[in-house]
A and B are shown apart, each in its own frame.
Chain A
Amino acid sequence: MSVEALPAEIAEVAPAARRPGTLRIVLRNPSVLIGATIVAFLAIVGVVAPWLGTIDPAEINPVFRNKKPGVERTIRGDDGKETAFVHRFGTDSLGRDVYSRVVYGARVSLIIGVTVAVLSVAVGLTIGLIAGYIRWLDGIIMRVMDGLMAIPAILLAMGVVSLSRAGLLAVVIAIVIPEIPRVVRLVRAIVLSIREEPYVEAAITVGTPTPLLLVRHVLPNTIAPLIVQGTFICGSAILIEAILSFLGIGIPPETPTWGNIMAEGRSLFRIHPHNIFYPGVCLAFAVLAINMLGDGLRDTLDPRFAKRV
């Protein structure tokens, strides 16, 4: 949100000499800076993928199968003109351009990471607030969460995927479900400690209705830890999606995701390691950057949490 968008009265109340803004403190942290730069770079790559010298990532070319990186071929455009095209990262066993697939893969991976993070935080926040505030539901909810936590995340995701046809939505839901209990626990712990605070007791005394109390006093306390948690969820979601796709139970194989490119490259790995190498490096870089961002955000936004862990 930009400063101009703030309502006039808030802008007026703001003191003249301000302490350095949160954004500034956060950006001064080196791991936030490095992580955010790489993530931003990947996001831009994902958005402008069509203009990065790519061709249709799904285009199959039976003549140019399994080519080493750097091989050249001519492409006939719609107007009949022929242009030279270099397969920078080679081609896969269907003759698709690996470079184009890797670039478009950034798009799919980031969309999945962000969607999963937003969904699990939203669902987890709601359930966590309910568990923290409605006593009789607390026991039931937390036991169900304990049960979910006892199932290793990848197995739970695989189980959920097996329930329906493979597709983007099914994969997103399958990754969200194992992440929810972690968010619920975090939110509930915050709610339980906040409700003992004097200002919350004061608010209860003056008769603030519960929904308002949650929104006004409890919710703001969950924002910083949830941003941190959401960042880590985003990273692990990208990793789990790649694992599911790699195992052949994720997103349909024609969609270019890093996991799918690697799954396709498995059978010919001995002769053509590039099909696994390029997407693998991108994946590792993306997850590393997001984890660094998360570490830095935790240290700056949520020092209490940083000490706890």
Chain B
Amino acid sequence: MTTPHTTWHADDDLLAAYVAGELDPIGGASVEQHLTRCAECRVRIRPLVDVPALDRTWLAIRDTVQSPVLPLPIRVARRLGLPEPTSVLLAATASLRTAWLASAVVALAFAVLAAAWSSDGVIAPFLLVAPLIPVLGVAAAYGPHEDPLESLVVTAPYGRTRLILLRTLAVLASALPVAVPLGFLLPGPVWLAVAWLGPALALVPVLLALASFVGPRAAGATVAIGWSAVVLGSLRPLPATWPVEATQQVVYLGLAALAGVVLYVRTRHDRQIGAVL
């Protein structure tokens, strides 16, 4: 609706007094209400305020707005002491985003519920899913060497191998606060909550070693299928905790060592200038 004062403008003296806080309350309120409606007077007040402070604030805004927002899990890690450049590198990893970790929580929660609600406490779903979370997370954390996305990583000083190992560690670290607390809710002995770590810490090097031959996606699928076969195959004939019992854990340790040797040998013989993975 039209107002009678659209032709009135605040002159510079009035604006200067307003900025300096020297106007009486009504004058001040009047100028304020006018400014919300008048672009011209908003321009005229510009040179009268603290311009250097405005410029400084703009620089801070620009930095905040241009730099991408870090995903929540990375922000948490940052508060816990993660170095700033590392957080930028990890932020680009899909498997460190909230969505991924939330899905992991949901999957594990279902596994725990299955164990709690079944009459004989079937823990197989948990034993199946828990080690695969870091495995699939690592497989999703990088692309094969020939990927257009990876071509810059290969030729950068930081180093592709170093980046992949960084992401692997980060994925493993992020799986722990997700899986261990849920594991404590399982029926059965308490050590089950961390028993899954044995296969997890073995399957990840196996994944990396395999990925150096066939790429991370194929390697991830192979490892997932292999582990599923172990857990599901032992379901009927053997006790529920068989996949993570002591003997098996030693076997997993051996597998991890073997995978490490394979990776080491490949690195020595590789002509790809340090990008064996």
Are A and B co-members of a single complex? no
Interface, chain A (partner B; CB < 8 A): none
